[in-house]
Amino acid sequence: MVKNTEINLSTVSRDLKKSPSDAVVIGVGQGTDGPVLLDNPLTAKSAEALTDSLKALGITGAADQVVRLPGLPETGAGILVLAGVGKVQAGKPLAAESLRRAAGSAVRQLAGLATVALAFPTASVADVEAVAEGAALGAYSFTEFRSAKDGLKDPVANALIFTDVVEQKELGTALKRAGLVAKAVNATRSLVNTPPSHLYPESFAEAAKDLAKGLPVKVTVWDEKRLEKEGFGGIMGVGKGSTRQPRLVKVEYSPAKAASSIALVGKGITFDTGGISIKPALGMGDMKSDMAGAAVVLNTVLAIAGLGLPVKATAWLCIAENMPSGAASRPADVLTMFGGKTVEVLNTDAEGRLVMADGIVAASREYPDAIIDVATLTGAQLIALGNRTAGVMGSDTITGALKSAADRAGELVWPMPLPEELRPTLDSQVADLANIGERHGGMMTAAVFLREFVGQDKQGEQIPWAHIDIAGPSFNNGSPYGYTHKQGTGCTVRTLVAYVEDILAAA
């Protein structure tokens, strides 16, 4: 169901003529005194002439600036591309994210070319990996529902990365990781971009099975009959208003010598009308993206399995379609969640926390070392942190580690508190708690609700837990930038993979 665009990644030495391409990309930075041509494989004479022409050509080195020039005979390519990397400081190496974004931006904007050579400064294997990952993320395309492809450009198919570290033995592993992680991000993007006419609970479950083929993972699907029988009141309560019945999907990777275990719970509302508490029509089409959290946790576990990391990783995809009908949940209904807690539904548009609660309880019963849930949960996240920064809340031991992992991965997250005064606002007159509380700080109130469903470990302590609200950064309604395309972004996959790697490194 999910067709992924994948780029071929390879490295070559600095001899450009031995590796012909359609375009050679070199970097330009924004220095304190104007544009700066970065380290490149051009001859000294060509580099000097180009440096003298930068200002006249209007080249600033700003991030996302991509300028095409006629190729030079020494490059073996018909096009020479100058790609901005943003601000640079003399004597300081480029940050990995600057390389990642510049490579991704160049590859994205050079769609239509078959082979692109990327000649950014790469003094280490980590630098090469950043360029490779950026290129693979930039080479994304989603054209599944076009009847004609006239005027559409195919993404770049091959990226050649010029570097002096081609002899490093870790290089092959780094390229493999870059490709696998980008594949997971791009699969997440495609799931998010798929229209709700084609992606609904049953088809989402089938897509999970398809994506898992060939990997050492086990996929288990709960249909509506099993969900009803086993008491998943949150998922059933949200999904019963739709003719497309809900699903719970468990994707489990259990290597023989796992050093630790992690459960990832994802919100999978394949379309959110708001239910009886219906949303305004303006912008409702974006609600096809309300399943991004489930897509993230699915593809994170598949990436972990593909990389062969020694950690048990389980994804719980809580999938439903939130529709208004004669069968839909009403405001004032009381639902009995998986595990027995009761929730008064005061607003049917606060549905994500209901399906997530069931998933968190199910995950808790397997006593993982940590639970992380990912959801497009609240509009309050956008108000608090904007369109590109996810909010992370929960146990300090996890939120701090997630922030560090996000920094390393090049993604934006920000830790937020869980004020205790928010819990009483969730009190209900008729049930254990209500599904909405204090409106101000609504992102944090929603997290406080979810915390109520996190179980205890075998010692009787609450399982370490974190909640990531990706309502804003999961879907890009603005212009493309860096390696980020319009619509689904695939955010948080890279952060979660880095988080698992950091856990293993610390162990």
Q: Contact at 8 Å (CB) between 12 and 160?
A: yes
- Per-residue confidence at 81, pLDDT binned at 50, 70, 90? very high
Which of 15-19, 209-213, 458-462 shows the lowest mean pLDDT across its residues?
A: 15-19
Residues 88 and 58 in one domain: yes
Count of domains in the chain?
Answer: 2
Residues 114 and 195 in one domain: no
279: annotated active-site residue: yes
Amino acid type, 461? E
- In this structure, are strands 370-375 and 465-469 parallel, antiparallel, or unpaired? parallel
pLDDT score at 141:
96
pLDDT score at 167:
85
pLDDT score at 91:
83
Q: In this structure, what CATH number is given to the domain that contains residue 444?
A: 3.40.630.10
Left (φ > 0), alpha (ψ -120 to 50) or beta: where does 126 sit? alpha
Q: Contact at 8 Å (CB) between 58 and 105?
A: no
Given 166, 195, 227, the domain boundary residue is 166
**Percentage above 90 pLDDT, the chain:** 93
Residues 231 and 101 in one domain: no
Residues 363 and 225 in one domain: yes
**Does 351 belong to an annotated binding site?**
yes
**Does 290 belong to an annotated binding site?**
yes
The arithmetic mean of pLDDT across residues 461-467, rounded, is: 98
Does residue 174 belong to any structural domain of this protein?
no
> pLDDT for 159-196, tens place per residue?
999 998 888 889 999 999 999 999 999 999 999 999 99
**Does 272 belong to an annotated binding site?**
yes
Q: Contact at 8 Å (CB) between 143 and 193?
A: no
**Does 15 belong to an annotated binding site?**
no
**Percentage above 70 pLDDT, the chain:** 100
Residues 135 and 252 in one domain: no
177 CB-near residues (< 8 Å, 6+ apart): 129, 307
Q: Contact at 8 Å (CB) between 32 and 60?
A: no
What is the C-alpha to C-alpha distance for residues 76 and 121, in angstroms, rounded to an integer?
Answer: 19
What is the C-alpha to C-alpha distance for residues 105 and 160, in angstroms, rounded to an integer?
Answer: 15
Which of 279, 341, 408, 423 is catalytic? The answer is 279
100: annotated active-site residue: no
pLDDT score at 106:
98
Residues 282 and 331 in one domain: yes
Residues 323 and 409 in one domain: yes
> pLDDT for 322-366, tens place per residue?
999 999 999 999 999 999 999 999 999 999 999 999 999 999 999
Residue 19 confidence (pLDDT) above 90:
no
> pLDDT for 20-32, tens place per residue?
899 999 999 999 9
Which of 100, 189, 244, 353 is catalytic? The answer is 353
pLDDT score at 14:
74
> pLDDT for 364-378, tens place per residue?
999 999 999 999 999
What is the C-alpha to C-alpha distance for residues 196 and 237, in angstroms, rounded to an integer?
Answer: 20
Output DSSP code: residue 312.
E
Residue 151 confidence (pLDDT) above 90:
no
Sort 318 into a burial class: Cβ within 10 Å, 0-12 / 13-18 / 19+.
buried
pLDDT score at 76:
87
Residues 429 and 465 in one domain: yes
Residue 414 domain boundaries = 182-506
CA distances 496 to 225, 227, 262, 311, Å, are 32, 28, 10, 13
The arithmetic mean of pLDDT across residues 243-257, rounded, is: 97
Residue 215 confidence (pLDDT) above 80:
yes
pLDDT score at 354:
98
The arithmetic mean of pLDDT across residues 79-96, rounded, is: 94
pLDDT score at 338:
98
pTM: 0.97
| CA dihedral for 401, 407, 411, 416, sign (positive or negative) | positive
Cα-flanking dihedrals φ and ψ of residue 297, to 5°? -70, -35
- Average pLDDT score over the chain: 96
Q: Which two tokens mark 266?
A: 């994802």
| CA dihedral for 137, 192, 210, 221, sign (positive or negative) | positive
What is the C-alpha to C-alpha distance for residues 485 and 269, in angstroms, rounded to an integer?
Answer: 22
Does residue 311 belong to any structural domain of this protein?
yes
